[in-house]
Amino acid sequence: MSKRVVITGLGAITPIGIGKDAFWEGLMEGKNGIGKITRFDASEYGAQIAGEVKGFEPTDYIDKKESKRMDRYAQFAVAAAKLAIEDAGLNLEKEDRDRIGTYIGAGIGGIETMHAQYKKLFDKGPSRISPFFIPMMIANLAAGQVAITYKLHGPSSCVVTACATGTNCIGDAFRVIQEGKADVMVAGGTEAAISQAAVAGFAAMKALCMDHNDDPEHASRPFDKNRSGFVMGEGAGLVILESLEHAKARGAHIYAELAGYGANSDAYHMTSPAPGGEYQAKCMQLAIDDAGLQAADVDYVNAHGTSTHLNDEGESLAIKAVWGEHAKDVSVSSIKSMTGHLLGAAGGIEAVATALTVERDMMPPTINYETPDEGLDLDYVPNKARAKKVRAAISNNFGFGGHNACIVMKKYTE
């Protein structure tokens, strides 16, 4: 019999706040974390706005010498892990660290480091490349650095599935505990891709919002008729997963039970979702079935909701396919309206938000929702947070390449 898995700790580094409490307060206020890019001069770029993390000091969480050997994306992960472990009240000195693992992914990895080192290579030659270039750049070092920092010797992995990364990491870590291969997992996603190359690349694809450079607060508008592309964000979201028996034995606070996980592929196109949302619907149904629930038991969807035409339309159609005649009874919101799209970290911070929604019976809003679009007629929790009894919730993330991942959380009961 598989073990029950619960969420006992939350760590968030986000454009609207650092730490679980500041993040949640920002969500409840409908705070907008999007502004002009400050990490480089973006004045000549098509997209000049992003959801940057404000006030982040690596040395608040990491030894100064060690922090200089990490790309920003890995710094975010180590910081979020510290916050999550502290939030869970885990005393690692009393734990069997061979039974604690790290499943932390990044969709892109250390692209800032890559850019800086390539510039050195071309300007000054190969002898000037840093010996830390490769370990700072590669995407697995977020999981690696968290494991090294806290001496966690359990299963360690890095899923890279674009925007589904964080959710796949949490879902895969869930399976590890279900199967009894670990007692505790630190899981989620991290990303710090607000860099010249990434912004230019996404803009060249016409994926980014480029018509609100002078009005960043209204740029990200999931499900709104006038949406025009996603806004890049950065940060990290990690959760502490535990077997129920381990959590109960140490008297841990339980936010929610992680009950179901689904993953599949559109197998359609390298960037576009398959029309009609068929495989997104199947992925949601897989997660709901895995949780032993019916769609009608799920009261809230934390949507992928990127503010792109195809994604928002496809996800809305997928929700209608799963919930059928009850589709308008389920509430749907996208926190990307506030944070922007954190790419590989999106599923991480959205899992944090979903766990708090289930615990507190409060749903974050979709801000900037002004003009309904034809056929997109669900309850998108427009503009203001709302109280609602949430027995269970699903968090969706769908990535380039057709990667779909969904997790279901429900209220914890004995």
Give the integer Cα–Cα distance in Å for 13 and 264.
28
Which of the listed residues 203, 225, 249 is the one where a domain comes to its end? 249
Average of pLDDT values for 240-262?
A: 98
In a domain, 254, yes or no: no
Phi, psi of 59 (to 5 degrees): -75, -5
∠ CA 299-300-304 to the nearest 5 degrees? Answer: 150
Instruction: Note whether 277 and 237 are same-domain residues.
Output: no
Q: Domain containing 141: what range?
A: 5-249
Mean pLDDT of the region 261-270: 96
Q: Which two tokens stand for residue 61?
A: 């969480």
Question: Is 219 part of a structural domain of the chain?
Answer: yes
Give tens-digit pLDDT for 41-82.
999 999 999 999 999 999 999 999 999 999 999 999 999 999
How large is the average pLDDT for residues 173-184?
98
- 88-119 pLDDT, tens digit per residue, is 999 999 999 999 999 999 999 999 999 999 99
395 pLDDT exceeds 90? yes
Same domain, 239 and 130: yes
pLDDT digits (tens, 9 = 90+) for 280-333: 999 999 999 999 999 999 999 999 999 999 999 999 999 999 999 999 999 999
What is the structure's pLDDT at 337?
A: 98
Considering the domain architecture, whether residues 213 and 237 belong to the same structural domain is answered as yes
Q: Let me know: does 33 contact 109? Beta carbons within 8 Å.
A: no
Same domain? 321 vs 346? yes
> Given 249, 271, 293, which residue is the final one in a domain?
249
163 is catalytic: yes
Q: Do 217 and 279 share a domain, yes or no?
A: no
- 278: confidence class by pLDDT, cuts 50, 70, 90: very high
162 and 401 Cβ atoms separated by less than 8 Å: yes
Instruction: Please state the φ and ψ torsions of residue 54, each to the nearest 5 degrees.
Output: -105, 140
Question: What element of type H or E holds 86?
Answer: helix 72-88
Percent of the chain with pLDDT over 70: 100
Do 303 and 214 lie in one domain? The reply is no
Residues 326 and 187 in one domain: no
How far apart are the C-alpha atoms of 37 and 199, rounded to whole Å? Answer: 10
**Spatial distance between the Cα atoms of 7 and 22, rounded to a whole number of angstroms:** 19
The domain boundary, picked from 216, 249, 282, lies at 249
Report how many domains make up the chain. 2
208 and 271, same domain (yes or no): no
Mean pLDDT over residues 329-349, rounded?
Answer: 98
Q: Is residue 148 part of a domain?
A: yes
pLDDT exceeds 80 at position 1: no
Token duo for residue 3: 């073990």
Reading the block at residue 33, the tokens are 């974390």
Question: Considering the domain boundaries, does residue 255 fall inside one?
Answer: no
The CATH number assigned to the domain holding 43 equals 3.40.47.10
Of the residues 158, 163, 169, 283, only one is catalytic, namely 163
Helix, strand or coil, per DSSP, at residue 101: strand
**What is the rounded radius of gyration, in angstroms, for the C-alpha atoms of the chain?**
20
- Shared domain check, 181 and 72: yes
Whether 226 is in a domain gets the answer yes
Yes or no: say if 411 and 392 are a contact pair by the CB < 8 Å rule.
yes
- For residue 167, the 8-state DSSP code is H
- Residue at 353: amino acid letter: A
Task: Tell me the pLDDT band of 144, cut-offs 50, 70 and 90.
Answer: very high
Kindly give, in sequence order, each residue whose CB lies less than 8 Å from that of residue 270, ignoring residues fewer than 6 positions away.
400, 401
Grouping H, G, I as helix, E, B as strand and the rest as coil, residue 336 is helix
Tally Cβ neighbours within 10 Å of residue 73. 32
The answer to whether the pTM exceeds 0.85 is yes
Residues 319, 222 contacting (CB under 8 angstroms)? no
Number of neighbouring beta carbons within 10 Å of residue 1: 5
Q: Per-residue pLDDT for 414 more than 90?
A: no
Q: Report how far residue 322's alpha carbon sits from residue 317's, in angstroms, rounded to the nearest whole number.
A: 9
In terms of domains, do 103 and 224 share one?
yes
Backbone angles phi, psi at 297, to 5 degrees: -80, -15
Mean pLDDT, rounded, of the chain: 97
Read off the pLDDT of residues 21-36 as tens digits, 9 standing for 90 and up: 999 999 999 999 999 9
Cα 29 to Cα 51, 235, 242, 336: the distances in Å are 17, 19, 30, 14
